[in-house]
């Protein structure tokens, strides 16, 4: 294989041709990314409920730090999963994956 340096406009043209040739193609890892996104949403939801329950039951006796840390970690995983989904599923509609 011979590699030829391409200028910015040539690279853009090549990308546009690739998109035109395969307009309905989605990467094979899109279903996996969608599943990871759904799992991350569930994890954030569960962590939020746990944190909410701790806050409601603490009556000022607990700062609920462990529960907040769990929520913070779930949110970081959500950010990663959302980025992976956007990258793996560029042709998917911009709504929540199922």
Q: Is residue 1 part of a domain?
A: no
- Please give the residue range of the domain that contains residue 82: 50-91
Residue 66 lies in a domain: yes
The verdict on pTM exceeding 0.85 is no
Q: Which residues of 66-81 are buried (b: 16+ CB within 10 A; e: fewer)?
A: ebeebbeebeebbeeb
Predicted pLDDT of residue 78: 97
Q: Is residue 35 part of a domain?
A: no
How many independent structural domains does the chain possess? 1
Is 5 a domain residue? no
Position 2 pLDDT exceeds 80: no
- Distant-in-sequence, close-in-space partners of 72: CB < 8 Å, separation ≥ 6: none
pLDDT tens for residues 42-86? Answer: 999 999 999 999 999 999 899 999 999 999 999 999 999 999 999
If one counts every other C-beta atom within 10 angstroms of the C-beta of residue 20, the result is: 8
32 within domain boundaries: no
Look at residue 40 and tell me if it is in a domain. no
27 confidence band (pLDDT: 50, 70, 90): very low
Is 11 inside a domain boundary?
A: no
Chain centre to alpha carbon of residue 70: 18
**Does 56 map to a domain?**
yes
Q: Is 28 left (phi over 0), alpha (psi -120 to 50) or beta?
A: alpha
What's the pLDDT at 90?
Answer: 86
């Amino acid at each position: 294989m011979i590699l030829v340096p391409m200028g910015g406009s040539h690279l853009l043209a090549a990308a546009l041709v690739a998109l035109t040739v395969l307009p309905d193609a989605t990467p094979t890892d899109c279903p996996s990314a969608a599943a990871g996104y759904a799992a991350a949403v569930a994890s954030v939801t569960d962590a939020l409920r746990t944190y909410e329950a701790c806050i409601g039951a603490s009556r000022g006796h607990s700062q609920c730090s462990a529960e907040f840390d769990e929520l913070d970690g779930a949110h970081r995983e959500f950010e990663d999963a959302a980025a992976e989904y956007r990258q793996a599923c560029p042709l998917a509609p911009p709504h929540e994956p199922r």
